[in-house]
Structure 1
Amino acid sequence: MPLAFHTLLKPRSQRYRARYEAVLGTALELQLQADGPRQARAAETAVLAEIERLEGIFSSYLPASELSRWQARGSARVSPELRHLLYEAESWRAHTYGAFNPAAAALQTLYAQNPQPGEAELEALRAALQGPLWRLEGQEAHKITPLPLTFNALAKGLIADRAAQAALRVGGLEVLLNLGGDLRHLGQQRVRVAVAHPFSPADNAPPLARLWVCNQGVATSGPSQRGVHLFDPRTGQPATQVVQATVVAPSAATADVLATAFCVLEPMLSLALAEVFGVGCLLVEASGQTHSNPRFEQQRIH
């Protein structure tokens, strides 16, 4: 995982740790501060229940999820949660100049079938990615594009946010949740976060950076962690200039979507957008050159 974390404890509260595998196809690490084991168990149960509930809505892998059923039908009345996801995704698509695109997985499929796709085929897909993907009308959502849609780069962060909030509602005093590299902290005590170095394969290698986080989300994305899997929807080409992007934001959802977009956009444009949205970012290019903005540096531990 690209993130590690440590907490400072309140002297009279107790810390509880839990780790689960195969949660949303990844690992879940949970740290809680609570007044006792009953409160901790209630918070842990709330986290797992909220993740399971939202997976049943947002998952593009589960055939019975609301998202999968909506895509199969093309038009349907959708839940407030799915409508919110669609609204946020369309907003981020516009804010990132198309770098975030829920239909971009079609490019990954194309290149998997043919590492050197024909120009006409690539241009047709690129054009389809630029068009409207869905339309919202009240509580109805209408899928316009024939391309499959996945929202992993936004939904996972959103799930992390809501799962952490669920823990606080039932008795957690401090919550630190790491869902496959999407981190969400809620509480009044700051936590230390370590960002892995993209060119160091060993898990115990010195981190690229350490920083303080409080009531924020952190996400890291890039081919350094999973190989080339990100593509530029604007050009149809693999995104290879930035090998890792880390974003510190008010929420894990914002950090998640911008970390993905910043792996696609040119570094200087990403830095400019980071200032617009009030987030910290650390970018690593394939050449080894790094870029960060003042907000990130303010939270860095030197």
Structure 2
Amino acid sequence: MNATGWGLLLTVLLAGWAVLDGAVQGGVPLVRALGGRDDPRRRVVLATVAPLLLLGEVWLVAAAGVLLAAFGHVETLLWSAGYPLVVALLVAWVVRDAALWLRSRLAAPGWRTRWDAVAQVASLALPAAFGALTGVAWVELSAVGAQAAHGSGAAQALAVGLPLVTAALAVAAARVHGGLVVAARAPETIAVDARRRVRRALVPAAALATLAALGALAVAALGTASALVAAVLLIAASGLALAARFDLDRGVRSSGAVRWSGPVLAVAPVAATSAVVGPAAVVLAAAPAVLHGLTWPVLGAFAAVLVAQAVSWRVLLRPLGPRTVVFL
């Protein structure tokens, strides 16, 4: 498998993480909003996304392994340019998981309330850090192929503003995606409120996707032509979000636009980043001999992970019922 194939594999792994863990990132902040002070109700909300917690993390760990093995120079560049964001992402990830596992270890209401608050803050910080890191990658890796424009005033302004936009987009996308998962799995009394909150989040998510598309066009103007593909992808995601809002306004709860708006918005930053930085990442990839030597072991492991994930999905991802086990 050549460098392009490895880049596609990395994109698929990150997209899988964005869909699976993105539901947790967007669902956990709704625990307090939808559950109020009623702990059993909070646990129901949490149970709608809890099965995705471990499933999603497998994809992130696998993506990190592919990044290190096939794109070590890219990893070094991201560590250098976005070190605080990488640290923030890792800290938010660890704190979020710890809060979710610890919140039900004691039955004391104060204990659970405090851990719910910690999990909520960490679940907002996690997509924000990841989104900002994608913005940094756009600027830094696109500069590999456009050295002349890298030091310009426009590039410097983009380096500041673009990570803010992509961070906000990642948070908004997770909110939509997580809310839709909660609405799909929770009892109707909770699902109604979840859909209402998704409806309110769709227009801001569409606006942020449009702003990110404009940022991609600015990157393209600085010399990275592949960023035009990212702009198209982000505009398409924005249009789908607006279509979902239109359907929800009409009372249509299960249209294709509504069902797919969450996953598409969650994947959009990953797909756009792949389009922007793909050419530069291929140039910075490991030697062909190294890539070929890793191909079959990695693809074999990837196939095994896919089978395990598919089985887990069928077992765990069903609408909640009276006999559903709640372990968080």
| TM-score of the superposed pair, with normalisation by structure 1 | 0.30
Flag the structure with higher helix content: 2
Flag the structure with higher strand content: 1
Bigger relative CO (Cα 8 Å, ≥ 6 apart): 2
